[in-house]
Amino acid sequence: MPCRRHRGKRRWPVADQNTAPYVGRAMRRVEDPRLVKGIGTYVDDLRLPGLLHAVILRSPHAHARIVRIDTAAAKSIPGVVAVLTGKDVNAACGLVPCAAAIPDLKAPKHTVLAGDRVYFVGHAVAVAVASDPYIARDAIDAIDVDYDPLPAVTDAEAALKPGAPLTHPDIPSNIAYTHNVAGGADIDDAFKKADRIVKHRIYHQRLTPMPIEPRGIVASYHQGEQSLTLWSSTQIPHLIRTLLPGMIGVPENKMRIVAPEVGGGFGAKLNVYPEEALVAHLAMRLNAPVKWIETRRESASATIHGRDQVGEYEVAVKNDGTILGLKARTVADLGSYLQLLTPAIPTLTGLVLTGCYKIPAVKIEIIGVYTNKMATDAYRGAGRPEATYLIERLMDIVANELGVDRLEIRLKHFPQPSEFPFATSCGLVYDSGNYQGALAKARELADWDKLLAERTAARAAGRLFGIGVSTYVEICAMGPSKAMPAGGWEWGCVRLEISGKVTVITGISPHGQGQETTFAQIVADRFGLPIEDIVVLHGDTSVAHYGRDTYGSRGTAVGGSAIVLCIDKIVAKAKVLAAHLLETTSDHVVYEKGKFRSPGVTNREIGWAELAGEAYVAKNLPPNFEPGLEASSFFEPENFTFPFGTHIVAAEVDRGTGEVKIKKYVAVDDCGPQINPLIVEGQLQGGIAHSIGQVLFEQTVYDDSGQLLTGEFMDYAMPRAVDIPEYVLGHTVTPSPVNPLGIKGCGEAGTIGATPAIANAVFDALAPLGIKQLDLPLTPQRVWQAISQSTTASV
Amino acid sequence: MPIPVRVRVNTTQREHAIDPRVLLVHYLRDHCNLTGTHVGCETGICGACTVLVDGKAVKSCTMFAVQADGSDVTTIEGLASNGHLHPLQQGFWDCHALQCGFCTPGMIMASAHLLAENAKPSRDEIAMGLRGNLCRCTGYSHIVDAVSQASGQKAVARG
pLDDT in tens, B87-134: 999 999 999 999 999 999 999 999 999 999 999 999 999 999 999 999
Q: Are residues A462 and A500 in the same domain?
A: no
CB B48 within 8 A of CB B42: no
Name the amino acid, one letter, at A83. Answer: V
Give the DSSP letter string of A32-92.
HHHHHTT---BGGG---TT-EEEEEEE-SSSSEEEEEEE-HHHHTSTTEEEEEEHHHHHHH
Give dist(CA A664, CA A330) in Å, integer: 33
Residue A150 lies in a domain: no
- A4: which chain B residues are within 8 Å (Cβ-Cβ)? 145, 148-149, 154-156
- How far apart are the CA of A362 and the nearest CA of chain B, in angstroms? 36
Question: Is A537 a domain residue?
Answer: yes
* Cα-to-chain-centroid distance, residue A196: 37
Q: How far apart are CA B36 and CA B103, in angstroms?
A: 10
Query: Do A529 and A628 sit in the same domain of this protein?
Result: yes
Buried residues in A65-80 as b, exposed as e (16+ CB within 10 A): ebeebebeebbebeeb
> Does the beta-carbon distance from B41 to A211 stay under 8 Å?
no
A214 CA to chain B: closest CA distance, Å? 7
- Rounded CA separation A742/B51 (Å): 44
Give CA–CA dist B47/A137, Å, rounded.
Answer: 23
Do A624 and A650 lie in one domain? The reply is no
Facing A37 at nearest CB: one of B80, B135, B155: B80
Looking at the fold, whether A597 and A675 belong to one and the same domain comes out as: no
| Residue B150 vs residues A505, A597, B90, B118: alpha-carbon distances, Å | 35, 47, 8, 12
CA pseudo-torsion sign A38, A41, A47, A51: negative
Q: What is the DSSP letter of A702?
A: B
pLDDT digits (tens, 9 = 90+) for A602-648: 999 999 999 999 999 999 999 999 999 999 999 999 999 999 999 99
Domain termination residue (choose one: A605, A635, A665): A635
Examine the pLDDT at B157 and tell me if it is beyond 50: no
B147-153: average pLDDT: 93
Chain A residues within an 8 Å CB radius of B41: 296, 712-713
CA atoms of A189 and A758, how far apart (whole Å): 35
For chain B, what is the largest distance between any 2 Cα atoms, rounded to a whole number of angstroms? 55
Domains, chain B, ordered by start: 3-78 (3.10.20.30), 87-150 (1.10.150.120)
User: CA A375 to CA A273: how far, in whole Å?
Assistant: 11
* Whether residue A331 has pLDDT greater than 50: yes
- Which of B19, B46, B77 is the closest to A38 by Cβ? B77
The residue in chain A having the minimum alpha-carbon distance to the alpha carbon of residue B47 is A212
Q: B70 to chain A, minimum CA–CA distance in Å?
A: 24
Instruction: Give the residue from B41, B49, B52 with the most A CB atoms within 10 Å of its CB, the best one to mutate.
Output: B41
In a domain, A285, yes or no: no
CA angle A747, A678, B139 (to 5 degrees): 60
Chain B residues lying within 8 Å of A40, measured CB to CB? 101
Contact A216, A233 (CB under 8 A): yes
Contact between chains at A2 and B85 (C-beta distance less than 8 A) = no
Higher pLDDT, A4 or A410: A410
Which of A606, A635, A664 is the last residue before a domain boundary? A635
Cβ of A724 and B19 within 8 Å? no
Within a domain: A378: no
Maximum Cα interatomic distance, chain A, rounded to a whole number of Å: 95
Is A409 part of a structural domain of the chain?
Answer: yes
Question: Of A635, A663, A686, which one is at a domain's C-terminal end?
Answer: A635
Return the beta strands (E) in A88-195 as ranges. 117-118, 124-130, 144-149, 175-184
Same domain assignment for residues A509 and A596: yes
Average pLDDT of the residues of chain A = 95
A134 forms beta bridges with: none
Same domain for A497 and A620? yes
Residue numbers of the domain that contains A616: 489-635
B16-33 tens-digit pLDDT? 999 999 999 999 999 999
Judge contact between A61 and A119, C-beta under 8 A.
no
Whether A707 is in a domain gets the answer: yes
- Rounded distance between C-alpha atoms, residue A684 and residue A551, angstroms: 15
Distance CA B113, CA B125 (A): 13
Count the domains in chain A: 2
The distance from CA A744 to its chain's CA centroid, rounded to whole angstroms, is 15
What confidence tens digit (pLDDT) does each residue in A161-183 have? 999 999 999 999 999 999 998 99
Considering the domain architecture, whether residues A463 and A513 belong to the same structural domain is answered as no
| A140 lies in some domain | no
A117 contacts: CB under 8 Å, gap ≥ 6: A63, A64, A65, A66, A150
Centre a 10 Å sphere on the Cβ of residue A726 and count the other Cβ atoms it contains.
17
3-state SS class at A99? coil
Which residues contact residue A156 at a Cβ distance below 8 angstroms, ignoring those fewer than 6 apart? A308, A310, A331, A332, A333, A369, A371
Per-residue confidence (pLDDT) for residue A123, from 0 to 100: 98
Q: Residue B83: pLDDT above 90?
A: no
Instruction: State phi, psi for A70 to the nearest 5 degrees.
Output: -110, 115
On chain B, the residues whose CB falls within 8 A of the CB of A33 are: 85, 93
Instruction: Find the length of chain B.
Output: 159
Choose the closest CB to A512 out of B40, B99, B145.
B99
Residues in CB range of B120: below 8 A, 6 or more apart: B151, B152, B153
How much is the pLDDT for A1?
A: 35
A470 and A526 in a single domain? The answer is: no
Identify the band that residue A9 occupies on the pLDDT scale cut at 50, 70 and 90: very low
What number of other Cβ atoms are within 10 A of residue B159's Cβ?
Answer: 9
Is A318 within a domain? no
Q: Tens digit of pLDDT for each residue in A424-470? A: 999 999 999 999 999 999 999 999 999 999 999 999 999 999 999 99
More confident residue, A552 or A82: A82
Rounded to the nearest 5 degrees, what angle is found at the Cα of A55, between the Cα atoms of A50 and A58?
Answer: 165
Smallest Cα distance from A8 to chain B, Å = 4
Residue of A nearest to B39 (CA): A213
Q: Which residues of B touch A267 (CB under 8 A)?
A: none
Please answer yes or no on whether B101 and A296 come within 8 Å at the CB atom: no
Q: What percent of chain A has pLDDT over 70?
A: 97
pLDDT single digits (tens) A414-426:
999 999 999 999 9
Q: What are phi and psi of A111, to 5 degrees?
A: -85, 165
On whether both A451 and A547 belong to a single domain, the answer is: no
Pairing of strands A175-184, B56-59: unpaired
Percent of chain B surpassing pLDDT 70: 96
Q: What is the pTM of this model?
A: 0.96
The three-state (H, E, C) secondary structure of A635-700, written as one string: ECCCCCECCEEEEEEEEEECCCCCCEEEEEEEEEEECCCCCCHHHHHHHHHHHHHHHHHHHHHCCC
Nearest one of A380, A263, A334 to A693, comparing CA atoms: A380
C-alpha to C-alpha distance for A744 and A734, rounded to whole angstroms: 9
**Contact assignment for A720 to B140 by CB distance below 8 Å:** yes
Residue A7 to chain B, least CA–CA distance (Å): 4
- What's the confidence (pLDDT) of residue A289? 98
Across the range A151-159, mean pLDDT stands at 97
pLDDT digits (tens, 9 = 90+) for A196-252: 999 999 999 999 999 999 999 999 999 999 999 999 999 999 999 999 999 999 999
Assess whether pLDDT exceeds 50 at residue A540.
Answer: yes
Q: Name the residue facing A726 among B100, B142, B159 (closest C-beta).
A: B159
Half-sphere exposure of A262 (CA within 13 A, CB side): 31
Q: How many CB pairs under 8 A join A and B?
A: 210
| pLDDT given for residue A14 in this prediction | 58
Same domain, A652 and A725: yes
Q: Phi first, then psi: what are they for A279, rounded to 5°?
A: -70, -35
Q: What's the DSSP call for residue A5? A: -
What is the rounded CA–CA span in Å between residue A383 and residue A349? Answer: 4
Nearest CA in chain A to B85: A37
- Please tell me the predicted confidence (pLDDT) of residue A792: 63
What's the number of CA atoms in the CB half-sphere (13 Å) around residue A766? 29
Closest to A516 (Cα-Cα) out of A495, A536, A531: A536
CB contacts of A689 in chain B (<8 Å) are: 138-140
Q: What is the ipTM of this complex?
A: 0.97
SS (H, E, C) chain B: CCEEEEEEECCEEEEEEECCCCEHHHHHHHHCCCCCCCCCCCCCCCCCCEEEECCEEEECCCCEHHHHCCCEEECHHHCCECCECCHHHHHHHHCCCCCCCCCHHHHHHHHHHHHHHCCCCCHHHHHHHCCCCCCCCCCCHHHHHHHHHHCCCCCCCCC
Residue A742 main-chain phi, psi, to 5 deg: 75, 10
Residues forming a β-bridge with B14: B7
CATH number of the CATH domain containing A416: 3.30.365.10
- Number of residues assigned to chain A: 795
Strand partners, A666: A648, A728
Strand ranges across the sheet with A64-70: A117-118, A64-70, A144-149
Same domain (yes/no): A692, A782? yes
Q: In a 3-state reduction of DSSP, which class is residue A369?
A: strand
**CA-closest candidate to residue A6, choices A776, A778, A729, A790:** A729
**Nearest residue to A765 via CA among A746, A778, A747, A752:** A778
- In chain B, residues with a C-beta closer than 8 Å to the C-beta of A685 are 138-142
Residues of chain B contacting residue A32, judged by C-beta atoms under 8 Å apart: 92-93, 98, 101
Distances (CA, A) of A457 to A162, A399, A461: 53, 22, 6
Please give the Cα distance from A59 to A416 (Å, whole number): 55
B-chain residues near A9 (CB < 8 A): 155
Residue A505 pLDDT more than 90? yes
Residue A511 to residue B155, Cβ atoms within 8 A = no
| Cβ <8 Å between A720 and B158 | no
Contacts of A465 (CB under 8 A, 6+ apart): A454, A455, A458, A459, A650, A651, A652, A663, A765
Same domain, A588 and A654: no
Q: Determine contact, residues B52/B114, Cβ cutoff 8 Å.
A: no
Interface test with A, best of B137, B142, B145, B149 (most A CBs within 10 A): B137
Min mean pLDDT across A482-491, A775-784, B70-79, B147-156 is at: B147-156
Instruction: Answer for the pair A734, A148: CB distance below 8 angstroms, yes or no.
Output: no
How many of the other CB atoms lie within 10 Å of CB of A126? 25
